[in-house]
Amino acid sequence: MGKIAVIGSCSTDFTVQSSQIPAQGETVLGEHLSIDFGGKGANQAIAAARLGGNVKMIGAVGDDDFGQKILANFKRHHIDISDMQMVPGPSGSAHITLYDNDNRIIVVPSANHHITFPSEAALEKQLQDVDFVVLQQEINLNINEQVIHYCAAHEIPVLLNPAPATQLDPELIHQVTYLTPNEAERELIFPNQTLSESLAAHPNKLIVTLGDQGAIYHNGMTECFIPSFKTQPLDTTGAGDTFNGALVVGLINGLSLADGIKQANLAASLSVQKLGAQGGIPTLEELQAAEAQL
């Protein structure tokens, strides 16, 4: 299998389950606290690795205990961390409230905003053995731009998951191979277009995830809706990251875009049945068992 490089954020997730969301100035009692590994980049790398991918993680952690634990977690998943950076200060963190089968998240980037590629030669060295690059937007966006320009010049496929969403330079959209926003993110990126207009303008590139409904793209002739697999969610945190990691593994294994999205939908449906952004990510064996029951 080709090698996947995930360039992005690593963090520790502090998740509180609550039956009540506090109003301004109000204190309420939570029901459960969990401390888990997270960060969109790390989640997508773990998802790809658990599903059989050959994965390299490129990112930054702080020189604190959390940073050491994040690196150890990658090692347990047999992820190449030879190009991970350690910087002075705290590692990234996310603070998640689970309420009524949904989540609210505050991300504190910390070390994640200190990823650097001091030169194109340094970037080339880190990507010389890579066949597919995965990006998100919890790191400085100029790093993403640098990577996308390099990959476009060297014909390395790139999947950009534009979350958290920002407006994107049309040239960046042109250069990425796949763009995977959810519907709210799509509206921010393409503010003057309907969903159908956006899809038609970016065939086989723009894949819009629709939560528990599934995902949709345009194949150059017609819109293709790939439905989700219905389940009762326990924690939706990380479902989108599982989708993206699974999609890349499917594509690098030679699946068609439609079949890759179907596989990614199934992996995401399994991920929401357990707590934690990474806690629910299925293994290849679990995914294959679920496929056998379809």
What is the set of active-site residues? 241
Write out 172-237 in H/E/C secondary structure.
HHHHCCEECCEHHHHHHHCCCCCHHHHHHHCCCCECEECHHHEEEEECCCCEEEEECCCCCCCCCC
Distance CA 294, CA 280 (A): 20
Tokens of residue 291, six digits: 């496929």
CA pair distance 249, 172, nearest whole angstrom: 23
C-alpha separations of 33 from 12, 95, 275, 279 in Å? 13, 11, 11, 14
The amino acid sitting at 140 is N
Q: At what angle do helices 239-252 and 40-50 cross, to 10 degrees?
A: 50
* CA–CA separation, 179 and 136 (whole Å): 10
**Beta strands 54-58; 208-209: pairing state:** unpaired
233 cis-preceded (ω within 30 degrees of 0): no
Instruction: Report yes or no: 37 and 68 within 8 Å, Cβ to Cβ.
Output: no
Can you tell me the distance from the alpha carbon of 111 to that of 70, in angstroms, rounded to the nearest whole number?
12
Closest among 96, 289, 257, 105 to 266, alpha carbons compared: 289
Strands (E), 136-185: 158-160, 178-179
